[in-house]
């Protein structure tokens, strides 16, 4: 498998200058490619406005990586933007920018043709020197981890010291079970990092309970409620890393506001005291992000190493962040990162099964004891009370039990589990109107109501209701 090993760097003043120069060269090459390709587009548009025939218009300039490299190598000797300094950096820096430009144009073309998932991608734009992320990728040249375990060597940059030991990658390289493919340097959260992409040969690790399944219900007050197939329930409290640092952030932000900051309208430069105060505030933000990342990695690693089947919900995190009352806490919890980490840790390390519950599966509205489904369950009601079997249980515990029971029931070929028959026959626009139908357990069905079909599940053989819509009657 291909795996990344990331280490923090401790460069000296000259090495940091070289790192910034390489990343700036990548940005400059990207902007050149965007301008070179875009020039033919604007030229054709101008010629069309004059009524020039299609066959007489300026030819389209290609944006493939080989074509961009060939054009850039011809232009770098005469273009005043590169002629004076392009030899100071490695050729890999310019290849990084050209490769990113080629990928950006490909994404735009595929999005325009409807061949790319997600939001529509616009025309590539120039990268700002003030906002662009500093990054550069090396694929050829001297790329190695030194034998002392505390230094790495990169093309044109030389040997750089690492903040932490590189034994994890060095041991595999020396044993012949890993081969370094490329290296990427990036400035992130106030520090420089190097990420080695390596082809690694490793054995899968057997989980502690391969026959057990766990359902994970994520929340704000309680970060995760985990219920396994045996009925055991465990909770993980939300640490609230951002809320814990808000007092410190307020004080740091107040200090920044009282210094003379930059003003782009008048060209005012920031004072040294403002730069120091801004660096102190950023340091608090970086620490919050690092602590959150560490906590999420520990949680997902422990879950992936214990259970053979993990069931999580397909949450609409982007839609949840539009709620101004909960957006800060949802973003601090990291719902999307939890699912992302479970996705690759279950497949790469343990080869276990990750089941994604349907977004419209009523895990909180379904009784974990008898299977009755309620039509409505407002968010402020934190206790589930079943009208059929009179079960009283915490709302999150009930949802986690239903997700755990869903592991062995109604799993589709795409890895998405849920109540597939609840989709209406004629969906409304955008498909965001799916409502939960009220159902009764099989033993208490009412005559003339909706038919409930039981679906066998693992563990305690709980029953899940699969709904069929009642025929429409007009009068």
Residues with active-site annotation: 217, 313, 396
Name which of 338, 328, 335 is nearest 246 in CA terms.
328
Type and span of the H or E element at 328: helix 327-333
CA torsion, points 101, 102, 105, 109, in degrees to nearest 10?
-170
Residues 105, 108: Cα–Cα separation, whole Å: 5
Contacts 24+ apart (CB under 8 A), 387-395: 388/440, 388/441, 388/444, 389/441, 391/367, 393/368, 393/369, 395/364
Name which of 339, 295, 337 is nearest 313 in CA terms.
339
**Do residues 223 and 237 make contact, with C-beta atoms less than 8 angstroms apart?**
yes
**Do residues 410 and 464 make contact, with C-beta atoms less than 8 angstroms apart?**
yes
- Burial (CB < 10 A; 0-12, 13-18, 19+), residue 360, is middle
- Report the alpha-carbon angle 41-42-48, nearest 5: 90
Strand pairing report for 307-313 and 353-357: parallel
Residues 416, 311: Cα–Cα separation, whole Å: 10
Residues 465, 418: Cα–Cα separation, whole Å: 10
């Amino acid at each position: 498998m291909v795996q990344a090993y990331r280490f923090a760097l401790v460069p000296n003043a000259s090495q940091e200058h070289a790192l910034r120069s390489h990343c700036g060269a990548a940005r400059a090459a990207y902007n050149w490619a965007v301008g070179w390709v875009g020039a033919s587009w604007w030229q054709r548009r101008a010629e069309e406005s004059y009524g020039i025939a299609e066959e007489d218009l300026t030819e389209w300039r290609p944006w493939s990586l080989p074509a961009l490299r060939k054009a850039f190598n011809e232009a770098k000797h005469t273009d005043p933007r590169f002629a004076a300094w392009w030899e100071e950096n490695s050729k890999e820096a310019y290849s990084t920018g050209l490769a990113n430009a080629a990928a950006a144009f490909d994404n735009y073309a595929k999005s325009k043709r409807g061949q790319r998932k997600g939001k529509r991608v616009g025309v590539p734009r120039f990268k700002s020197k003030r906002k662009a992320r500093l990054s550069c990728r090396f694929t050829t040249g001297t790329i190695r981890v030194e034998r002392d375990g505390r230094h790495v060597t990169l093309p044109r940059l030389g040997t750089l010291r690492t903040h932490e030991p590189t034994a994890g990658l060095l041991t595999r390289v020396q044993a012949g079970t890993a081969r370094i493919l490329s290296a990427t340097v990036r400035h992130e959260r106030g520090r420089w990092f190097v990420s080695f992409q390596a082809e690694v040969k490793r054995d899968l690790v057997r989980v502690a309970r391969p026959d057990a399944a766990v359902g994970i219900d994520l929340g704000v007050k309680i970060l995760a409620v985990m219920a396994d197939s045996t009925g055991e329930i465990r909770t993980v409290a939300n640490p609230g890393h951002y809320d814990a640092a808000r007092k410190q952030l307020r004080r740091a932000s107040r200090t920044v506001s009282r210094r003379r900051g930059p003003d782009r309208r008048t060209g005012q430069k920031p004072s040294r005291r403002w730069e120091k105060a801004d660096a102190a505030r950023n340091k608090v933000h970086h620490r919050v992000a690092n602590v959150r990342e560490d906590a999420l990695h520990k949680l997902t690693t422990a879950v992936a190493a214990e259970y053979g089947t993990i069931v999580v919900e397909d949450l609409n995190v982007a839609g949840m962040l539009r709620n101004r009352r909960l957006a800060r806490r949802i973003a601090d919890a990291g719902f999307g990162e939890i699912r992302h980490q479970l996705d690759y840790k279950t497949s790469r390390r343990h080869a276990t099964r990750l089941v994604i519950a349907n977004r419209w599966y009523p895990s909180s509205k379904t009784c974990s004891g008898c299977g009755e489904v309620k039509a409505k369950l407002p968010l402020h009601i934190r206790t589930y009370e079943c009208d059929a079997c009179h079960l009283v249980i915490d709302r999150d515990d009930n949802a986690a039990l239903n997700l755990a029971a869903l592991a062995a029931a109604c799993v589709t070929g795409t890895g998405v589990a849920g109540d597939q028959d609840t989709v209406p026959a004629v969906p409304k626009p955008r498909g965001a109107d799916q409502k939960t139908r009220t159902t009764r357990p099989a033993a208490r069905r009412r005559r003339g109501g909706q038919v409930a079909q039981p679906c066998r599940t693992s563990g305690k053989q709980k029953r899940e209701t699969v709904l069929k819509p009642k025929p429409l009657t007009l009068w």
